[in-house]
Structure 1
Amino acid sequence: MLERLELEAFLVLAEELHFGRTAERLHVTTGRISQTIKKLERQVGAPLFERTSRAVRLTELGQRLRADLRPAYEQIGTGLEQAIIAARGITGTLKVGFSALWSGDLVVTAADLFRVRYPDCEVHIQEVQLGDPLGPLRAGELDLQLTEFPIDEPDITAGPVIFSEPRALMVPDRHPLARRETVSLEDLADVILLPMTGNIPDYWLDYHYPQRTPAGRPIPHGPPITYWQEVLSHIHVGKGVSVVAARGARYYARPGVAFVPFSDAPPIEYGLLWRKTGENTRIRAFIQIIHEIRRSVPREDEVRRHKSRMAGRRPPRPDEGRRPTS
């Protein structure tokens, strides 16, 4: 019979794939998590995780166990949350923000389900400008926000990553890079990168608009831009290039601008933010719905791995292996 800590430690570690973050989420020591997982593996009779000095991965048995345990655990959590909600009631107004349009799609979908479950609570949704990504949240204009990571601020709670997107480079369609299948981070040394400006943390800017390539070559920066639509106009007239989630090709497509996938850039991660002093039952209920929706959609990396396995079982089609343009 599983103890509660064994169940939670296994499922959280299966999500985080990091002992330190798992321990932090469960408010125990890293050693306690390690001991608990080892105990569970002895009980099962086989390893559930592959551990190296650089990474933690689920074994095939661990993946099956996660698939079997997760629904039951979520059902228990949902039942408890519903009981708490019924006892306290969820009323009032919840204000939710988003930055990227694809984040907005998820927020709107979650808000529709939230309104069905909690008809006595209103949900207001608004877009957050990248030039001031934390201002509305800090000012109390928003209760919750889905935005690009990293965010590391003392007054704001950054939840787990909800989803991630591969990166692409937006370039003028007449630029030589526009004819490439992919680009590299090293290519940024040969173009002018157009960064955002405003009330933005320096570490966020350094992550999304780096000053140097991985090899240490300086990356020329053009004039900073305040609003996203200006970026598209600057690229259209040949003032420079900019980095975007690859999905942006479907949302920001316009004449004169091409989207070229990166071959080596880390993905852009998106997560939920809320004020550390502002957490309440409305926020927790909305976060739960966000997680439910995301778990019902296959993760893109899992889809890619599945396609790769299937491709190995049959001869490739003539058009297979080409990188998508969006």
Structure 2
Amino acid sequence: MERDELECFLLLAEELHFGRTADRMRLSRARVSQLVQRLERRVGAPLFARTSRRVALTALGRQLRDDLEPHHRAIGAAVARATATARGIDGVLHVGFSTPPAGEIVLKAAEALHTSHPGLAVEICEVPLSDPYGQLRKGEFDVQLTEFPVREHDLGEGPALLTEERVLAIAAGHPLSARAAVSLEDLSAVPLLTVDGEVPDYWLEQHAPTHTPGGRPIARGPAVTNMQEALTLVAGGKGALLSAAHTATYHARPGVAYVPFADAEPIGYGLVWRAADNTSAVRAFARAALKAATGA
């Protein structure tokens, strides 16, 4: 059934008058008659009883009307909801952040949106280390500011908003802790803590590589699920942690030294969202986050 046939049938079933139906559809009476006849040919029987004085539904017409009306209303409501979601930026936007510097950008963006879009409330929450994309996929987050790279076919991403150098968190008594800087080749001299959870292989290799750039194997240390657990093990000499420079500021603690790398690529952070749900609210937040990150 074509959409124009459906609309025409339901309107005529309501009005029971070709003239009023034509007016509501902004068509000629002849066109309305053609649409009805085309649908009746498709069905294989008359849907309306027509005389020179009145129009009435046949029994088959009443059956078709009763079957179609609920679905037609549901389709209209679904389209209306989708349109409102796409155009509107009211409601609640759930935003995740993976590190304290990312959280600061998220907070600044949320404050800016409170002024520019007062109908949009922003709720923020930390992204679990052990499940970097799970809450986003479940719809618990609408967008999140997190480490790159992200190589997930169902997730979209924006440009890098923040970069920072990498450091090695290591027990204060370890020989590497006295260095002014370490190299990636030095990782072969200490076990690296790994992450236990729903983490992609490429993500894990970024945070806990198995070999140095020169091909030397890197021993695996215990698996952790959060930063506090990781630093407790580091302080206890159970392994080292490959981390970002902010960790020395936000997670300073006795027994842990933070040594910068001389040759590691910086870590980039950017916004990630479900590719199928790039809504107006998400786009508004992305613009606010870019301004917050660049100071523009």
Aligned equivalents of 2:98, 2:212: Cα separation in 1: 26
Q: Distance in 1 between matches of 2:102 and 2:165?
A: 14
Question: Aligned pairs, how many?
Answer: 212
TM-score, scaled relative to structure 1: 0.63
The corresponding residue for 1:214 is 213
Q: For the Cα contact (< 8 Å) 1:172–1:257, is it kept in 2?
A: yes
Where does residue 192 of structure 1 map in the other structure?
A: 191
Separation (CA, whole Å) in 1 of partners of 2:286 and 2:252: 31
> Aligned partners of 1:129, 1:196: CA distance in 2, in Å?
11
Q: Which residue is 1:98 aligned to?
A: 97
Determine if contact 2:193/2:220 at 8 Å carries over to the other structure.
yes
Residue aligning to 1:130: 129
Q: Describe the superposition over 1:227-270 as per-residue Cα deviations: whole angstroms up to 9, x where unpaired.
A: 22100000111111011111211000011111000000111111
- SS of 2:194's partner is coil
- Percentage identity across aligned positions? 48
Query: Letter of the aligned partner of 1:228 in structure 2?
Result: M
Secondary structure in structure 1 of the residue aligned to 2:273 = strand
> Could you tell me how far 1:103 is from its partner in structure 2?
0.7
| Stretches of 4+ aligned residues off by more than 6 angstroms | none
Alpha-carbon distance between aligned partners in 2 of 1:177 and 1:270, rounded to the nearest angstrom:
28
Per-residue Cα deviation, 1:267-319 (whole angstroms, up to 9, x for no partner): 1111110001111111101100111122227xxxxxxxxxxxxxxxxxxxxxx
- Residue type matched to 1:113 in 2? A
- Which ranges in structure 1 are unaligned for 5 or more consecutive residues? 1-84, 298-326
In our comparison, the structure showing a higher alpha carbon Rg is 2
Q: 1:161 — aligned with what?
A: 160
The match for 2:172 is 173
The letter of the residue matching 2:129 is L
Partner of 1:42: none
**What is the rounded CA distance, in whole Å, between the counterparts of 1:140 and 1:88 in structure 2?**
19
Measure how far apart 1:88 and its partner are. 4.4
Secondary structure (helix, strand or coil) at the match of 1:218 reads: coil
Return the letter of the residue paired with 2:267: I
Does the 8 A contact of 2:221 with 2:239 survive in 1? yes
1:24 aligned partner? none
Give 3-state SS (helix, strand or coil) of 1:126's partner.
strand
**2:183–2:261 CA contact under 8 A, matched in 1:** yes
Partner Cα distance (1:89, 1:161) in 2: 26
The match for 1:246 is: 245
1:89 is displaced (CA, Å) by 4.3
Q: In the TM superposition, what are the counterparts of 1:113-124 in structure 2 within 5 Å?
A: 113-124=112-123
Give the distance between the partners of 2:271 and 2:213, measured in 1 at CA: 29
Q: Is the 8 A contact 2:222 2:239 kept in 1?
A: no
In the alignment, what sits opposite 1:266? 265
1:66-85 residue pairs with structure 2 within 5 A?
A: none
Separation (CA, whole Å) in 1 of partners of 2:130 and 2:207: 13
Give SS of 1:216's match.
coil
**RMSD over aligned Cα, in angstroms?**
1.5
Other-structure match for 1:204: 203
- The amino acid that maps onto 1:130 is L
* Residue deviations 1:121-171 (CA, integer Å, cap 9, x gap): 111101111100101000000100000111111110021111111000001
3-state DSSP of counterpart to 1:222 = strand
Question: Using the alignment, how far apart are the partners of 1:197 and 1:247 within structure 2?
Answer: 22
- Aligned: 1:286 with 2:263: no
- CA pair 88-139 structure 1, distance change in 2 beyond 3 A: closer
Deviation sequence 1:40-82 (CA, Å, 0-9, x none) = xxxxxxxxxxxxxxxxxxxxxxxxxxxxxxxxxxxxxxxxxxx
Structure 2 gaps, min length 5:
1-83
**Contact 1:152/1:158 (<8 A) preserved:** no
Partner Cα distance (2:243, 2:175) in 1: 18
With the length of structure 2 as denominator, give the TM-score of the two structures: 0.69
The 2-side partners of 1:169 and 1:115 are apart by: 38
User: 2:276 is matched with which residue?
Assistant: 277
Confirm or deny: 8 A CA contact 1:91 1:122 kept in the other structure: yes
State the one-letter code of the partner of 2:167.
Answer: A
Is the strand fraction higher in 1 or 2? Answer: 2
Cα 1:89–1:139 change in 2 (3 A) is closer
Q: Tell me the distance in 1 between the aligned counterparts of 2:123 and 2:220.
A: 37
Q: Which has the higher contact order (CA 8 A, sep 6+)?
A: 2
Whole-angstrom CA distance in 2 between matches of 1:88 and 1:201: 34
Task: State the 1:178 CA deviation.
Answer: 1.1
